[in-house]
Each structure stands twice: as structure tokens, then as C-alpha cells.
Amino acid sequence: MIFRQLFDNVSSTYSYLLASRRGGEALIIDPVLEKVDRYVQLLIELDLRLVKAVDTHLHADHITGLGALRDRTHCITVMGEQSKADIVSMRLADGEKLEIEGVSLGVVYTPGHTDDSYSFIMPDRVFTGDTLLIRGTGRTDFQNGDARAQYESIFNRLLRLPDSTFVFPAHDYKGDTVSTIGEEKAFNPRLRVASVEEYVDLMNSLHLPNPKMMDVAVPANMHVGFSQDQIAQRGWAMMPAYAITLIGRPEVSFIDLRERSERERDGEIPGSLHAPYPALQENLNRGGILNELAATKQLIFYCAFGERSAMAVQAAQDSGVLSACHIQGGLAAWKTAKGPLLH
């Protein structure tokens, strides 16, 4: 496995780059906007293709690199389903998997620091975001934080992992880089409480100042979505209400860009073909299945919220597939328009 722990010394944020092999797909957890050039350079040096950029939660202390990485690499942006970010390509729920080629992370909802906090688990390590820090825990006094929920997340979820599990947090302010579950159980002062009540009292007595960047970072991080307006202005967007009338018509083909797990969870447009977004360019190239299909049919891309499909339309146009369009707002908008779904 390729694994890199990257540091932003302004916000003391750790970001993590993961891949199974050189030349393969990569994902990054908690990227920082100011470091995007560095990540892109590293991706080139390691010969990796970034396919997913993931935030463990909506950050208050730095601006996320999700939007910039999506614009630079056309990767999929990923957050939990509770996130208040306007648009991310893909939303995860507890118990699901976060996957790229050769790497699979368990998705665990660990609210408390915020109500959209997630941890990601591999057999030997866990990425804990700001839920569990090294000898500390994430503050719970803003962004719908909840000390009681955090106690549950830590004691009933994270601390149940094997003691040998490495803990990789989203921050460290003292220079520690990694810990283990066993070490935190033994030495984390915040965890030396006899009850949930005691933990709540402890967290409520901290009275921390707000992060310096908070007033800038939170609003910025809520608006990272790819603007679908430009795609619409070029005439490449289709409103769901109109797309519904095209179901079953021989001259069009609905192309589902989502992952299999999303199709199983949320259903699919009847008669649509499955062509996952990470393989898009291959499928659009000469001899690719979408390139061939476009010779006789208009391609109508769709995904969960319209972000992947908007990028796909642009890629199709760039590849000479000029009839391609997408369903604006994705399956979420399709559902609102009462479009039929196959489960």
C-alpha cells in the first residue's frame, strides 16, 4: 500500500493519501486548500490518479481542498450524508464502504465533534477525524457538537477496535503523528471519566476560543459544489421533469455514473446503463463503450447530485461526444420531480 501522512502547519491538519499501487487509483482524506499544489505534485511523482477526495467532517479551522482537487483532477468529492456542504459528488452513510481500486475503508458515523463526523476504518488503522485525537478529543461546543454523542462514538465505537489499531487523527498540535487505540485507552486524559455525565461536564468546562479561521472556513466549506450553471448555459443540462418524458425512448440512453452501492441503496432510472464515473474517460475514448453508443443515441448522464454528471458532460464534449447532456441536480432532483426508480 502507498500511504502518506501530509501536514499543514498553519491549521495543524493531517491529510492522508492512500493507494494500493503505483499507477493506480488514490484517495485523499481531509485535504487542505493551500496544500493542493503539493498534493497534485505528489500524485504526479507517485504516478497516482486521484479518484476520491474525502472530508471526515465540515471543518472550521481550514478551507477544504475538496473543491480545488475536484477542479484540478476531476475526482469525486465525498462526505457523510449529514454534511451541510452544498454539493458533494457522493454521500456516505454508516456501515457503507469507501472504496477505490485495491483499498476499502469501513465507514463509521462518529458524531459529537460535529453532527457530520465520520471515521474510516482499515484492518490495521482508523482515520478518526476530530472525534478522537492523540491524548485528546475534538471540541464539541459548536457546529452541532454534542459531548454525549461523542462519548458514544468514542467509547462504543472507536475504542472497541483492537488495541493495536493505529489512530490517525485530523489534527495534532504537539507534533505527535500516530497513536493506537490501546495507547489512547491507557493515556488519553479525556477518556479517564467514569460516566457519560462526567465526560459531558468535562467537555462543557473547556471554554475554548473559536478557531481563527472559523468565520471564513465554515461558509467556504459549505459551498464547495461544482457549479452546474455553466453546463446549463451551454445547453448541456436537462431538467428532470423533461428527462422523465424520455424514459424508454429508443433515441436516448440514460447513463448511471454512480457506484454499485449507490444504485443498490437509492435505486436507478429504469432502463439506464451503468458506467461508473472513475472509468469515464476510458469509456469515452475511441473504441470505448460510451463512444460507440453515442453514434446512435443521445447520452443522458446522471449521478447522485449532478456533480459527477456535470463533469462527465464536459469530458464527453471534450472527447467529441457532442450530444451528451446530464440531468441537472442528479437523482436527488429526479426524486423531487417524482421520476420513477427501479429498486
Q: Which residues bind Fe ion (CB under 5 A)?
A: 130
What angle is formed at CA 174 by the lines to CA 78 and CA 129, rounded to 5 degrees? 20
Task: Cell numbers for 27, please give them.
Answer: 484517495
Q: Note the Cα 234 to chain centre separation in Å.
A: 28
Q: How is residue 225 annotated by DSSP?
A: P
Q: How many whole angstroms separate alpha carbon 140 and alpha carbon 300?
A: 44
State in angstroms the smallest separation of the CB of 138 from Fe ion. Answer: 6
Q: Which is nearer to Fe ion, 51 or 78 (CB)?
A: 78
Q: Which is nearer to Fe ion, 130 or 184 (CB)?
A: 130
Torsion of CA 108, 29, 164, 157, to 10 degrees: -20
- Among 72, 52, 75, 56, which Cα is nearest to 14's? 56
Q: Which is nearer to Fe ion, 28 or 257 (CB)?
A: 28
Q: Which is nearer to Fe ion, 143 or 328 (CB)?
A: 143
State in angstroms the smallest separation of the CB of 277 from Fe ion. Answer: 28
- Among 58, 104, 49, 102, which Cα is nearest to 81's? 58
State in angstroms the smallest separation of the CB of 94 from Fe ion. Answer: 19
- For residue 302, the SS3 value is strand
- Among 286, 240, 221, which Cα is nearest to 62's? 221
State in angstroms the smallest separation of the CB of 84 from Fe ion. Answer: 13
State in angstroms the smallest separation of the CB of 61 from Fe ion. Answer: 6
Torsion of CA 92, 94, 97, 100, to 10 degrees: 40
Q: Which is nearer to Fe ion, 215 or 318 (CB)?
A: 215
Contact status, residue 36 vs residue 65, Cβ threshold 8 Å: yes
Q: Which is nearer to Fe ion, 25 or 115 (CB)?
A: 115
Q: Note the Cα 177 to chain centre separation in Å.
A: 23
Q: Give long-range contacts, CB 8 A cutoff, 24+ apart: 153-158.
A: 153/109, 153/110, 153/111, 153/112, 153/117, 153/119, 154/110, 154/112, 154/191, 155/191, 157/108, 157/110, 157/119, 158/108, 158/110, 158/119, 158/126, 158/128, 158/131, 158/132
Q: Which is nearer to Fe ion, 24 or 211 (CB)?
A: 211
Nearest position to Fe ion, beta carbon: 130
- For residue 221, the SS3 value is helix
State in angstroms the smallest separation of the CB of 57 from Fe ion. Answer: 6
State in angstroms the smallest separation of the CB of 130 from Fe ion. Answer: 4
Q: Which is nearer to Fe ion, 5 or 227 (CB)?
A: 5
Q: Note the Cα 9 to chain centre separation in Å.
A: 23
State in angstroms the smallest separation of the CB of 275 from Fe ion. Answer: 36
State in angstroms the smallest separation of the CB of 247 from Fe ion. Answer: 43
Q: Which is nearer to Fe ion, 116 or 130 (CB)?
A: 130
